[in-house]
Amino acid sequence: MPASPTMSLRAWALLILLSVLWGGSFFFAEIALLDLPPLTVVLGRVAIAALALHLMLLMSGHRMPKDLGLWRAFLIMGALNNLIPFSLIVWGQTEITSGLASILNATTPLFAVIVAHVLTSDEKLTANRLVGVVIGFAGALVMIGPAALKGLGAEALAQLAILAAALTYSFASIYGRRFKGLPPMTIACGQVTCSSLLLIPLVLIIDRPLALDPPSLATWGALFSIGIFSTAFAYILYFKILALAGATNLMLVTFLIPISAMLLGVAFLNETVTSIELFGMALISVGLALIDGRLLPTTGRAPTRHEKRTPTTPASIQDEG
């Protein structure tokens, strides 16, 4: 793996801020779920993010493209990178804590390595990456525990839903290659706009939000926070760090998100973190470090020119959840 740019103090500060924003998405979702069903929470998140990003584009003097083919691609990307994973994660959080959800979501790069190996010709597994994937998934299995072998209860299903979301993110990272050359804010705006359009009929049919009691001020605050800060602003910050520190250093956010989510959950939601969860997170972190090349020198073939290039879409590293 090529050498990474040295992380400056500013880059570290922005990286920690991004981890808090993405870790905060689990925290804000937990609050919103007190009043609203899962799909309604997801719609609130992407719709508010879409409005914020459209406003930012308008203020910056840019316009969204009018090409229908591109909007079809945004539609698919919105489903893969927002609608499906966000819905699975938020539903999962109805049964498990926000901290545990964030730890399981950290398996996204593990799935991404496997999916890239199968679906691409230029991102094949190396020895270190294969070992990292095995160790990382061992951590996920440790947290799900032997109870899953006795029958899938609600908690085990919720954990599997988070893992399914992580897998969906990895497919989005492959599909997102087609947006190379588009401004990052345009990509982000296009996908959350399409996610909103896809979710509106689903929410009206399944959740029937008009029949629900009016949400509390805390719920509205959580929705605006997850939409504006954990989605719209987080996308912008993501690309700022990408330009400042490079893709390899940006992957460090994967290690920091569960820490932010767990601290917020413990401090404000009275959640607890078990020793099994900490052990599972440690295994996942070791796996990610092996994939990232920080723990041991990368072995196997030299990276291709494609592998050295900087990712160009928000799907290159998972959104927050």
Q: How far apart are CA 202 and CA 209, in angstroms?
A: 11
Structure tokens, 187: 């990509």
Instruction: Give Cα 149 to chain centroid, integer Å.
Output: 28
- pLDDT tens profile 13-50: 999 999 999 999 999 999 999 999 999 999 999 999 99
pLDDT of residue 202 exceeding 90: yes
275 in a domain, yes or no?
Answer: yes
Give residue 1's pLDDT: 43
User: Taking the complete model, does pTM exceed 0.75, yes or no?
Assistant: yes
Lowest pLDDT segment from 68-82, 85-99, 235-249: 235-249
Give residue 239's pLDDT: 84
4 in a domain, yes or no?
Answer: no
| CA 92 vs CA 72, 196, 237: distances in Å | 29, 20, 27
Give residue 300's pLDDT: 47
Contact status, residue 53 vs residue 188, Cβ threshold 8 Å? yes
245: Cβ–Cβ under 8 A, 6 or more apart, which residues? 4, 5, 7, 8, 11, 15
Give residue 307's pLDDT: 43
Average pLDDT, the chain: 88
**Quick one: average pLDDT of 109-137?**
91
pLDDT of residue 303 exceeding 60: no
pLDDT of residue 9 exceeding 70: yes
- pLDDT tens profile 276-296: 999 999 999 999 988 877 766
Contact status, residue 187 vs residue 316, Cβ threshold 8 Å? no
> Domain residues for 187?
9-316
Q: How far apart are CA 96 and CA 105, in angstroms?
A: 13
pLDDT of residue 81 exceeding 80: yes
Per-residue confidence at 313, pLDDT binned at 50, 70, 90? Answer: very low
Give residue 315's pLDDT: 42
Q: How far apart are CA 92 and CA 88, in angstroms?
A: 6
136 in a domain, yes or no?
Answer: yes
18 in a domain, yes or no?
Answer: yes
Which residues in 225-254 are b (16+ Cβ under 10 Å) and which e? bbbbbbbbbbbebbbebbebbbbbbbbbbb
Give residue 121's pLDDT: 86
126 in a domain, yes or no?
Answer: yes
321 in a domain, yes or no?
Answer: no
3 in a domain, yes or no?
Answer: no
Give residue 180's pLDDT: 85
Sort 209 into a burial class: Cβ within 10 Å, 0-12 / 13-18 / 19+: middle
Q: Which one, of 279, 302, 318, 320, lies nearest residue 113 by Cα?
A: 318
Per-residue confidence at 233, pLDDT binned at 50, 70, 90? Answer: very high
Contact status, residue 307 vs residue 10, Cβ threshold 8 Å? no
Contact status, residue 98 vs residue 30, Cβ threshold 8 Å? yes
Q: How many helices (H) and strands (E) does the chain have?
A: 15, 0
71 in a domain, yes or no?
Answer: yes
Share of the chain above pLDDT 90, in %: 67
Region class of 300: left (phi > 0), else alpha (psi between -120 and 50), else beta: left
Contact status, residue 24 vs residue 184, Cβ threshold 8 Å? no
**Quick one: average pLDDT of 286-312?**
60
How many domains would you assign to the chain? 1
